[in-house]
Chain A
Amino acid sequence: MFQEPNRIIQELQKKAQYLDKVRAFFKERQVLEVVTPLLRASTNPDPAIQSMRVDYSLPGIPKTTGYLQTSPEFAMKELLASGSGSIYQIAKAFRDGEEGRWHRVEFMMLEWYRPSWSYHQLMDEVSEFASLCFGFPAAVKISYQDIFLSTLGINPHTATSEELISHLKKGAYNRLPEPKLMSKDDWLHFILTHEIEPSMDPEKPLLLYDYPETQAALAAIKKSTPRVAERFELYFKGVELANGFQELTSSAEQRQRFLRDIRQRFDRGEEELPMDEDFLTAVDQLPVCSGVAVGLDRIMALSEGKNKLMSI
C-alpha cells in the first residue's frame, strides 16, 4: 500500500470526481441524499447472502446482537414509508465470504428510490445515470426471456431442469455441478453466468428485465403469462452493475417470502435470523415506487477500463 503513492493518489482523486458527478446528477433531479444506520437489529434472510453479525453493548444491556447491512434497502424503505419522497444514498454494504475479482466483503453501494415511478421509467434513468456519470453508451433493454431465446433458443420460463442440463451437456464443460444440489434457478444462473454474460456485446450496456417469478427477491410480480418478477439488472462488459425492482408493497407477500427464506436456512442448519417486523410495517406503508442498487466500486472500475475492482 505504501509502495505506489502516486497511483493511489490518482485512484483516490478519480473516485472523488465520480462521487461528485453522482451527487450532481441527483441534485439536479432534486433527489434527497440520506444517511441511514449501517447496524440493524435484523437483516435480509436471503439464503444466498450471509450477513455479518456484530455483538455490542448498550448501557445497562451488556449483550446486543446486530447485523451490518447487506444493502441500505430496509432502512431506506422505512424512510419512504414516512413520506421522504425520492431519496438516494451512497453507503457501505457488507456480505460475508464474498471476495473475488468483482467482490469485496465490504463494498460501496449507491441506492435510490423513485416514488410513483414504474420500473421501466427507472431503467431509463439508470441508463442516463451511467452515461452522464461514467461515460457509458446508452443501454439496450432486453427481457430475460428474449436473451435466453436469442442466445440459446431456450425459453427460461417454460424449460425444465432436464432441458437445461441437456443443453449444457452439449457444451465443452469438463464438469457440471452435482444435479442433486441444483434447483432450476441454479441451472438458469449457471447458463446466465457461463454462456449469456460472456456473449453480451462488450460495447453496449444491457438492461435485463422481467426475471423468473422465483428470482423476485423484493420485487412485485406481474400477473402475466408466465408470471414474471418486475425486476431488472444493468450489465456492462458481462458484469452485473445494478439491480432494481418495482418494489413490493404488500407486507403479507413479503412475510411469505421471508418465511420461505428462513425455512431454507433452517434446512441448511444455519443460525435463525429474526423476522424484521419494523421493515414489514414499513412495506405496508410504502408508496408505489421503484428502486435500484448500483455497485459503485464495479461501475467505477469499468469506467476506468479495468477488468477487476481497483485496489483501494
Chain B
Amino acid sequence: MASYSTSEFKNGLKIIMDGYPCSIVDNEIVKPGKGQAFNRVKIKNLITGRVVEYTFKSGETLQAADVLETNMQFLYTDGEVWHFMDLSTYEQVEANKTTVGDTAQWIKEEDECQVMLWNGRPISVIAPNFVVLKVTETDPGLKGDTAQGGSKPATLQTGAIVRVPLFVNQGDLLKVDTRTGEYVSRAK
C-alpha cells in the first residue's frame, strides 16, 4: 500500500489513521533550532467528521488512503439504499441512509452530487449547492397575514421543509440553497 512521509504532508492529503480514511486539514512544521523537525498535523476523520491533532517526527510515514471525490448522478432510492452512477464509466455504487445523511432531503433523480469514495465505496454524499424542487404542500398565504413575519413553511417533493414567502403556492418550482436550507427564488 502506498504511503506518504512527513515531507509529503500537505492539506487535503488522504491518509489512513487508526483504520479510518482521513484528510489532513492543517500541517505545521515545528523545527527546534539544531534538531530534526516535527509535523504537527490536524487530521479530519472522513467517516466521523472529528478533527484531531497529532505530532509526527520528520521521517515518519502514514498509509495513503484510496479516497476519491467524484461527481455522480443520483439514480433512485427505495428509502434504504441510494443508487448513484458515474456518468463517464456508468459504474454504479450504493450508499446507505447514514452515508447520504442530510443530502437525502435535497436530491431528486438525475441530480449530480459530489460523492467521496473510499476503496470504491461511498462514505459521503454532498448535494449540489442549489437544487430546484416542487412544492407539494403549503397553506395558501392570506393577504395581510404577517403574523409569522411574512413567511410560511412549505413541504417539497423530497420531503424537505423550507420557509417560503407567502405568495408561494403548491405546485411552484423553487430554487433552494442546500448549504443553508433556505429558499432562494422561484425557478422557471
Task: Determine the distance from Cα of A213 to Cα of B31 in the docked complex, in whole angstroms.
Answer: 19
A91 close to B (CB within 8 Å): no
Interface size class for chain B?
20 to 34
A9 CB–B CB distance under 8 Å: no
Taking CB atoms, residues of chain A closer than 8 Å to B54 are 174-175
Number of A positions contacting B (CB below 8 A): 29
Partner of B31, one of A98, A174, A176, A215: A98
Shortest distance between the CB of B58 and any CB in chain A (Å): 8
How would residues 50 to 73 of chain B score, 1 for a CB under 8 Å from any chain A CB and 0 otherwise? 001111110110000000000000
Q: Inside 8 A of B55's CB, which chain A residues have their CB?
A: 173, 175-177, 190, 194
Which chain A residues numbered 169 to 217 have a C-beta less than 8 Å away from chain B?
173-178, 181-182, 185-186, 189-190, 192-194, 215, 217
Does A97 touch B at the CB level, under 8 Å? yes
Q: Is B33 an interface residue (CB 8 A)?
A: yes
Q: Is the CB of A177 within 8 A of B34?
A: no
**Contacting pair B38 A174 (CB below 8 A):** no
Chain B: which residue is nearest A211 at the CB level? Answer: B34
A230 within 8 A of B: no
CB contact under 8 A between A243 and B34, given known A100-B28, A103-B29:
yes
Least CB distance from A124 to B in Å reads 20
A-B pair number, CB within 8 angstroms: 62
Whether a CB of chain B sits under 8 angstroms from the CB of A46 is yes
Chain A residues contacting B38 (CB-CB under 8 Å) are 177, 189-190, 193
CB neighbours (8 Å) of A103 from chain B are 29, 31
Check if B35 is an interface residue, CB within 8 A of chain A: yes
CA distance A211 to B13 in the complex (A): 37
**Would you call A233 and B33 a contact (CB within 8 A)?**
yes
- Residues A177 and B57 in contact, CB atoms below 8 Å apart: yes
A56 to B53 CA separation, bound complex (whole angstroms)? 44
B27 to chain A, nearest CB (A): 8
Known contacts A176-B55, A177-B56, A190-B55, A97 near B35 by CB under 8 Å: no
A176 CA / B56 CA spacing, docked (Å): 7
Given pairs A189-B36, A190-B55, 17 additional interface contacts (CB within 8 A): A47-B36, A48-B34, A98-B37, A100-B29, A100-B31, A103-B29, A175-B55, A175-B56, A177-B38, A178-B57, A178-B60, A185-B35, A186-B35, A189-B35, A189-B38, A217-B34, A243-B33
Residues on B close to A: CB < 8 A?
A: 7, 28-38, 52-57, 59-60
Can you identify 7 A-B contacts, CB atoms within 8 angstroms? A46-B34, A48-B34, A177-B55, A193-B32, A194-B30, A240-B32, A243-B33
